[in-house]
Amino acid sequence: MNEQRLLVDAEEGVGTITLNRPEAMNAFADGMRESLLEALEAFAENKAIRCVVITGAGKAFCAGGDIVSMAALQDANDTEVVEDRMNRAARVIQTMRRMPQPVIAAINGAAAGGGMNLALACDIRLASERAIFAESFVKIGLVPDWGGFSLLPQLVGTAKAMELMMLGDRFDATEAMRLGLLNHVYPHDEFAANVSAFAQRIAAGPPKTLARIKEGVYLGARESLADCLAYEYRVQRQVFLDEDAREGMRAFIEKRPPVFGSGN
């Protein structure tokens, strides 16, 4: 793993992945997609990690692909590298959706192109008031990737997704919040503290239950009510006798905060 361009940390049940190329607004250089995938896969298998945060170093979250690198590939008439990069990006997105832990995008600054869609693929999005967004692919003659064609219309509808993708205009955190892209916007000076507090609240929850909630929400977004009812029936029976459900009910009766995850 390239520790210089991707920083990985774990503390008190929260795994943090920081894109660390601030001089290029954390645009993806060769090796970063692979490192991001490795970090996500490692966290997914680690039961001590109860929540994952993805953020960027410096003033940006992620500017997407490295345009200088892409221009060099155009000069060489090379699409093989582009195809490989897109395949790895797809694996990143699929891993984020399949892993049991909730994944939070901590959008500290600009999120453009693939960087914006990486944020959209996260389960929860928290933004600094200084965050800027853009589906900027069209500005360089490209179509959205990193799952954008699926992710954005689900959140804002097809008409607004068309506008954002066809114009590629920048918009701020206030507009992103109005569009339903964000869960919360925080003052920039308090952003890190608020993200940490939010992630700790998630990490304190019952891990198996949170994993089933994540799975159920995405199932509900694409399947029928009957499918969701069947899912609820099957999963509620599974978690009902789990130690976390026992702990939650004991804590409620005893009027104390529950301590989840000790039996996982």
Domain map (residue ranges) of the chain: 6-203, 207-254
For domain 207-254, the CATH architecture is Orthogonal Bundle (1.10)
pLDDT at position 264: 52
Q: Which two tokens stand for residue 65?
A: 């692909």
CA proximity to 58, closest of 99, 14, 12, 24 = 24
Classify residue 237 by burial, with Cβ atoms within 10 Å: 0-12, 13-18, 19+.
Answer: exposed
Asked if 64 and 113 touch (Cβ cutoff 8 Å), the reply is yes
pLDDT digits (tens, 9 = 90+) for 73-101: 788 887 888 888 899 999 999 999 999 99
Sign of CA dihedral 162, 165, 169, 173: positive
Question: Is the pLDDT score of 262 beyond 70?
Answer: no
Among 3-12, 146-155, 197-206, 209-218, which stretch is predicted with the lowest mean pLDDT? 3-12
Which residues fall within 8 angstroms of residue 242, CB to CB, at 6 or more apart? Answer: 206, 208, 209, 263
Report pTM: 0.94
Quick one: pLDDT at residue 9? Answer: 96
DSSP reduced 3-state for 48: coil
pLDDT higher than threshold 80 for residue 2: no
- What is the CATH class of 6-203? alpha beta
Query: What's the whole-number average pLDDT of the chain?
Result: 94
pLDDT digits (tens, 9 = 90+) for 48-62: 999 999 999 999 999
| Tally of CB atoms within 10 A around 90 | 14
Q: Look at residue 111 in the predicted model and tell me its pLDDT.
A: 98
What would the mean pLDDT of 149-162 be, rounded to a whole number?
A: 97
pLDDT band at 125 (very low <50, low <70, confident <90, very high): very high
Least-confidence region, from 78-82, 96-100, 125-129, 140-144: 78-82
